Amino acid sequence: MKYGNFDDNAREYVITEPETPRPWINYIGRQDYVGMISNTGGGYSFYQDPRYRRLVRYRYNNAPRNVGGRGLYVRDAESGEYFSPTWQPARVDLDDYECRHGLGYTTIRGEKDGVAGEVTYFVPPGEDLEAWRVTVENDSDEPRSLQLFSLVEFCLWDAMDDISNYQRNYNTGEVEVEDSVIYQKTEYRERRNHFAYFACSADIDGFDTQRDAFVGQYDGFDEPQVLEDGQATDSIAHGWSPIGSHQVDLELEPGESEDIVFLLGYHENPEDEKFEAPGVLNKEYVEGTIEEYCDPDALDAAFEELNEFWDDQLSALQVETPDEETDRMVNTWNAYQNTVTMNLARSASLYETGLTRGIGFRDSLQDQLAVLHQFPDRARQRILNLAKIQLKDGGAYHQYTPLTGEGNADIGGGFNDDPMWLVMSTAAYVKETGDTSILEEEVVYENEPGTEAPLAEHLQRAVEYVWERRGPHDLPLIGHADWNDCLNLNCFSENPDESFQTAEHDVDEERAESVFIGGQFVYAVEELAELAEQTDVLPEAAEDYQRYADEMAEAVADAGWDGKWFRRAYDHFEDPIGSSENDEGQIFVESNGMCGMAEIGREDGKVQDAMDSVRERLATEHGIVLHQPAFTEYDERYGEITSYPPGYKENGSVFCHTNPWIMITEAKLGNGERAFDYYKRICPAAREDISDVHTTEPYVYAQTIAGPDAPTTGEAKNSWLTGTAAWNYVAITQHILGVRPNHDGLVVDPAIPADWDEYEVHREFRGATYEITVENPENVESGVDRVEVDGEEIDGQTIPDLGDGETHDVRVVMG
């Protein structure tokens, strides 16, 4: 692979060629302060909210890609030649280059003409800042006079306003410079009490805070005027485009190096302590932090703490299987990606701008499914936070804004699958932790004080919301959309300037129905029935919830079955979608995956028939496509799904998020070969050798891969922030490797390739540790002959919840 390789011992991906097919990024920070770092040092940072608290400016759809935001330059003071150790922004060819993306940090090293520069970016645990630990080294045989220039292009907080309201922005920029610290205080004089700072550990030999002074009126970041001249201008920004740049002059003997630290941070002052003097920023609360982390020794200690955090978090579940790529993803990269998606859902990446949406309700609830064993307390709080934006009728705001804790009123509700994800995520949390007290937590509706009710009631209203909104076939009404936001059956849009999801059009009544939500309802309410057996705080008994599920399953098996697979939906005119009756879009993966996981019609062969149809009609070498045949023309009855060219996004791509639902269904059927085959088709590490085709990062999942109808079949888009990460982790760990929690303990139920002789799972669960060895002497795909715990055979396949703080040896023999 010409772009890089995995270093499994270091838990890093090593990139050796800066011109990757797309910028390959990493995330730093895991709570309030978050940044993105590309393999060439680009990206941006924000505090809590990627729109309203953006620190670093980033130009989406820029050419060349990923330029601006952050930068480092090393200049030879005698020759005037300069380069960027990160390759960009200068884009000067390097003699040597290496980028190491690790867990919560990125290290990039570049060398040119005997001079090396190395930078490690990370967020010290618990801090609202990012550190750049820079080392400049003279690897030549002669003394060198060198200059180091830093660069941050500040965003003026509201990232949407920053790229649109120039008549205001060109007049508001304000900075202060004190010693080696640049303070960005735009709009601080008004309604803001927050500011950014860019500090340097060294005594500086110059600075700039005005972009045009640094770059030049007609130059770019690749050839900035200050680097051409070799001297900063000490510019002070008054409006226009504030930046932060330090100049540090270095005299290095052969073999000598020097460490310099840069800190980019965020702080909020108390409202009554904003100024230390009229118009002068109060810096009291950040001075200690700056002093602490400008010390390289303190920074090294913080970096070690970061590594210890990841050691601890990843240790909760580790595997050793016959497949190297599975181990690589489960033990490190998939678990790491899950943490990022838990933090951000779909709000901020190189594909999600962070400008127009918060954290998705359904998105975030699905993301929790994969991190419950790592972050049970944080998952618990996220579930409760999202329950606060549930509507009083049982629906939900479709998006949540972390900065305010409120729902996005512009988007509103009406996405009728949303409430069921609250049920599914809560049930999964209780299975993992045994903590039923979450059901008694008092939570408001619509963020409105005085509406508090136990979470158990919220779940009840979620069930009633779907149950009371059924159409002509007794299937759930789809609303604006179900899981697929681009299947818009109540929109009928002919106006290119309106949203497919929220456009309001006159229909006498909503009649469009979702088979998908029908399957989801059965899956979720059966989970609720199990939960009702564990506690008496739910409003109805287990048998009552089971009756709901049974009646919905009957409706799905009747109106949702097409003869060989599950239909997708019924449109406003009661015509089926995802049916052999259709010319295009005859079979969809979502409804077959969800109804399969709910095991609707399993006993009479419907689930197996559906999986056979998926394999015959939808499976490709790059994964399972969303539907076939793809739509070739726009159809206002279906909405946005038909607006994409065939093979892309929702119109017939491999929408990776849905693939694990098929894996899980195949595993439930005992088809281990099929389940694992599908897992490997979209596994990023398994696609590393085709990176020129795949294009996005080989260490994290992407949302989509272009389908067979597309000219660029196999090309991935929208990496990092996707529900694909959580569901693939659930599929491989809980259903293929087959170690999953239930209310009584850990179930072991493998569905694996027959040629696997043995594998091991290390699993921490409710205060105990289980070292599980699964043996497959008969080389079967599924089935368990016996389970032994500490040498004693137990009844069934559920390892009991011992919770004693001890380590227990578990032997599972398949057969």
Residues with a catalytic annotation lie at 485
CA distance 76 to 82: 6
CA distance 569 to 594: 13
**546 C-beta neighbours (distance < 10 Å), count:** 17
- DSSP 8-state class, residue 605: T
**What tokens appear for 167 in the block?**
């008549």
- DSSP 8-state class, residue 690: G
Give the strand pairing for 792-794 and 4-7.
unpaired
- DSSP 8-state class, residue 78: T
CA distance 83 to 93: 8
CA distance 222 to 82: 10
CA distance 521 to 476: 9
CA distance 113 to 444: 63
Closest CA to 131 of 392, 305, 382, 351: 305
Given a contact cutoff of 8 angstroms between Cβ atoms, the answer to whether 623 and 629 are in contact is: no
710 contact partners, CB below 8 Å, separation of at least 6: 645, 646, 647, 648, 652, 653
**755 C-beta neighbours (distance < 10 Å), count:** 10
Strand, helix or coil for residue 752:
coil
Where residue 563 falls (left for φ over 0; alpha for ψ -120 to 50; beta otherwise) is: left
Give the CA distances from residue 553 to residues 518, 522, 558, 589, in Å, rounded to whole numbers and listed in that order: 7, 6, 8, 18
CA distance 385 to 103: 27
Number of Cα atoms under 13 Å in the Cβ half of residue 471 = 28
* Adjacent-strand bridge partners of 108: 99, 119
Closest CA to 91 of 116, 113, 66: 66
Buried b (16+ CB within 10 A) or exposed e, 37-47: bbbbbbbbbbb
166 contact partners, CB below 8 Å, separation of at least 6: none
Angle at which helices 606-617 and 659-668 pack, to 10 degrees? 140
CA distance 475 to 573: 14
Give the strand pairing for 96-101 and 82-83.
unpaired
- CA-based radius of gyration for the chain: 28
CA distance 575 to 559: 11
First and final CA of the chain: distance in angstroms? Answer: 39
For residue 131, the one-letter residue type is A
Residue 805 class from Cβ within 10 Å (0-12 exposed, 13-18 middle, 19+ buried)? exposed
Closest CA to 2 of 681, 690, 682: 690
Q: What are phi and psi of 570, to 5 degrees?
A: -125, 135
Closest CA to 597 of 588, 589, 607: 607
Given a contact cutoff of 8 angstroms between Cβ atoms, the answer to whether 740 and 749 are in contact is: yes
CA distance 41 to 83: 13
CA distance 747 to 796: 9
The H-or-E segment that residue 588 falls in is strand 587-588
Closest CA to 510 of 427, 440, 414, 430: 414
